[in-house]
A and B are shown apart, each in its own frame.
Chain A
Amino acid sequence: MGNGKLYIDELENRLTLLMINTEESFVMIDKELVIVAFNDEFKKQYLKYLNKEVLKGTSILNYVQPGREEIVRGIYQRVFNGEVMESEIEIPLPDKTVVTYHTKYKPAFNEEGAIIGAFISGKDITELKWANQQRLMFESHRTFDNDNLKALINNTHDAMWSVDVDFRLITGNEAFDNIVRFMGGEPYKNGDNILAGFPEDHLEKFKNFYKRAFSGEVFTIVEYSSEPEEVWSEISFYPISNNGKIVGTACHSRNISDRKVYEREILRVKTELEKNEYKLKESQKIAHLGSWELDMLTGVTTWSDELFDIFGTTPQQTQPSLEAYFSFIHSGDVQKVKDMIDEANASLISIPYSHRIVRPDGTIRTVYCESRFTFNDKHTPLRINGIIHDITDRKLADENIKLIKERYDVVAKATNDAIWDLDLVGNKLFWGDGFNTLFGDGLDAKIVNLELWAGLIHEDERKIVYDSLMKVIKSPDGTRWEEEYRFMKSNGTYANVLDRGFVIRNSKGKAIRVIGAMQDITVLKGHIEQLQKLLDVTNEQNKKLQNFAHIVSHNIRSHSVNINGLVEMIDDTLESEEKMKYYAMLKSSTGKLNETIENLSNIITIQNDINKVRTVLNLKIEVDKTCDAINSVISQTNTTVINQVDPGIDINVIPSYLESILLNIITNAIKYRMKDRPAIIKLYTQKTGNYILLNIEDNGMGIDMEKNGDKLFGMYKTFHSNSDARGFGLFITKNQIEAMNGKIELESEPGKGSIFKIYFNEKN
């Protein structure tokens, strides 16, 4: 845009230069009679004669003498048809003197040879005319001297010749001969057919010119020949009459090639200027860019069309001027603008500024102004060129962007997420403030592309995460990506992160950017895991509770049903012997009911006693104590107990529970020993993770784990056809161990033996 403007300035300078340096006034119009260019002389003369300022872009008819408009219009009509016209008018001046003005109208051709307008040159010939009149008066007193005339006409470079009505040369001067030679012919002798030797196309044309002259018309044509070189001639025909009868024509040809070249250059420049002006105008329109120019010499201000649009006015409503400009400035900004202009005028350097304007319809817009002085070689300012740019929309947009950016910044700071922006075209990764906060200072400067980011993903997940992002980017309509993975912090530890991205695509659907946020969910994840554990425990407890409720109801009901049935039987029976039998059964049933209720209350006690006071005890000593307590059973059954517990192991337990656990498992081992071999019970320990593991191994009957594994520690499950096995002991043992956060497992093979594995939780 700026270059375009400079170029146009340059063209205008050249156009102006071409038109200066001539005494003739010079003006060019287009076919709509609109002035497109003029020289200083023209401007001066109009100012002088009509006291009127000439303006480009206005009609030439504005500058003709009143009443002559129709005549002038007729003249141009003929010029646009290719004719050269001349006029001579007398103009009365304000000081009452009269000047004679000679005007010549010639068609203007473009490079293709089409007429696009007219050149008008004019000259004040008042003095010349006066001199001519004097000469004519003087000559009328003289006899015509043929030799003198000959000398006179030979002395000029203009070709002069005369032809009689039979197209025979009457006479021609030397310049005429020269032209004929130049065209490649032999000079005509007097009496030769002037049309002889003319090329076909010229012949008919010139024959017609002569005929017009023979009919009495005085006219001038412009003739162009390209061979042997480019020559423009202006040929005038003057009929010669003798006693009122036309006997021939005098012809005068003048080489105007130099002027023609000059005119053509003007045209070329002018056409180019027009083209560029059009372009400028269009671009100004698009950019809401208006321009203005102040000619410091004439004081004339011009505005571009777009500038009128910016001000909400039209060239008809507003005459461009500084005052007009000020009339649009918002009252609040007038002083500021005044200061800026004063400053610029004083320093001859202008600084861009912006201000508000008020359009005639009341709307307020914001404009940006920039101007430039053009100087001559003496550093005198010639003109000021300026642009005025309507930036209201841009300003609004700028403010919006600023607002959005502010919001974004606040969000980016407020969030705990690491916001990222991946430029897929340049493979550049940018991070928001949160990244360093979450993962380590200075990390954002190191992780600047996709590969570096992938390098910090835990290697177990790296490929999956990277591939999933690529899949979203490459799929034609993928927009959202989400992945959970472990990401290495700058301190080497891993953070669990939840990373989400949004893919931005260009108009062709190619992914160009991905914007996302990375969230550290390590803590959250910990909470979730804890929650899951709690949930598992709760579920487990719930299941136990339900199981418990069913078993309780089953066990209690089975006894109560019996008792009910027995009581009914006693009522129905008369035989006392039979009655006695029922009473015995009733006693047994109530005893069992009592036992059941007691057992159940034991379990409830264990469940409730989770917070019972713990004591640190030496495991080996506790095992010995238990064995001592059941010493008589051990010796009666010929059982061997081997206590290989590490004497250095102390465990933090609820003492009564430990005692109960050891007692229950050891007595079980004795109870379910194989009858064919002496029982051997071996106790030994090992450490595994957070647990102390106590193994109690026997060589007893064992349990079929496939068949009974799932109901091993259930309530009231027994696995042996032993009559007093009620399957209650293991259930209590399990509950007691679990109450101390431990666990119990069993390895067993029927006929070979069992290993009860008791895990004491040392962490709690």
Chain B
Amino acid sequence: MKKIDLAYIIDDDEIIIYLTDKILKKVEFCNRVEKFTDAQKALERLMFSLKTGENIPEVILFDLNMPNMDGWAFMDEFIKLPLKKKIPAFIFTSSIDPADMQKSYTYKEIKGFITKPLTNNKLDKILRLIDEEEERDKAMGES
């Protein structure tokens, strides 16, 4: 399992961002975490990085229910980005609305639906899903 360098967390709740950041650091999920309370800002940052060639995240966790730009609106913009390498995105929400889960399946970029709070088990699952995705991409690239 390779170590992730950069992860984005997008959530309007500062407390949850603080707590999630703490956990990610504690289990050494990644080297760096960039935190956003506004999805619009996250999108702008990502676009800026793509332009300047800075590091882009290897995983994004994003909340659905946010003011200004919500999770879905963020996703709609995200899929338009000219990415050379796929970025696995995970919904990170306290919603248990099945309609949200259904909707998540319509975006192939969304690799999982993680309900709060974040636990070690859930982080393991995220990592496993990212690895599977890379294996698959590799296999497709070789064939």
Contacts and interface: CB of A to CB of B under 8 A. Distances in A.
Genuine A/B complex: yes
Given A558-B13, A721-B38, A565 B67 contact: no
Nearest to B100: A550
In this complex, the member of B65, B67, B73, B117 whose beta carbon has the largest number of chain A beta carbons within 10 angstroms is B67
A565 B94 contact: no
Interface in B97-143: 97, 99, 116-117
A588 B16 CA distance: 12
A761 interface: no
Given A562-B13, A566-B19, A588-B15, A554 B95 contact: yes
A555 B95 CA distance: 8
Contacts of A722: 67
Contacts of A569: 19, 22
A585 interface: yes
Interface in B19-67: 19, 22, 38, 40, 65, 67
A558 B19 contact: no
Given A554-B97, A558-B13, A585-B18, A719 B68 contact: yes
A55 to B, nearest CB: 105
A533 interface: no
Contacts of B97: 550, 554
B96 interface: yes
Given A565-B117, A721-B38, A554 B65 contact: yes
Contacts of B68: 718-721
In this complex, the member of A562, A564, A718 whose beta carbon has the largest number of chain B beta carbons within 10 angstroms is A562
B117 A561 contact: yes
A721 B67 CA distance: 7
Nearest to B116: A561
28 contacts: A550-B95, A550-B96, A550-B97, A550-B99, A553-B96, A554-B65, A554-B93, A554-B97, A557-B116, A558-B16, A558-B116, A561-B16, A561-B116, A562-B13, A562-B19, A565-B16, A566-B19, A569-B22, A585-B18, A589-B15, A707-B73, A719-B67, A719-B68, A720-B67, A721-B38, A721-B40, A721-B68, A725-B67
A381 interface: no
Contacts of A655: none
A716 interface: yes
Interface size class on chain A is: 20 to 34
Contacts of A588: 15
A727 interface: yes
B16 A562 contact: yes
Interface string A536-562: 000000000000001001110110011
Contacts of B73: 707
B15 A564 contact: no
9 A-B pairs with the lowest CB-CB distances in the bound complex, closest first: A718-B67, A558-B94, A550-B97, A557-B94, A565-B19, A561-B116, A561-B117, A721-B68, A562-B15
Given A550-B97, A554-B65, A565-B19, 12 more contacts: A550-B96, A554-B97, A558-B94, A562-B13, A565-B15, A585-B18, A589-B15, A707-B73, A716-B65, A721-B67, A726-B67, A727-B67
A569 B118 CA distance: 13
Interface in A32-88: none
Nearest to B13: A558
A184 to B, nearest CB: 126
Nearest to A707: B73
In this complex, the member of B13, B40, B73 whose beta carbon has the largest number of chain A beta carbons within 10 angstroms is B13
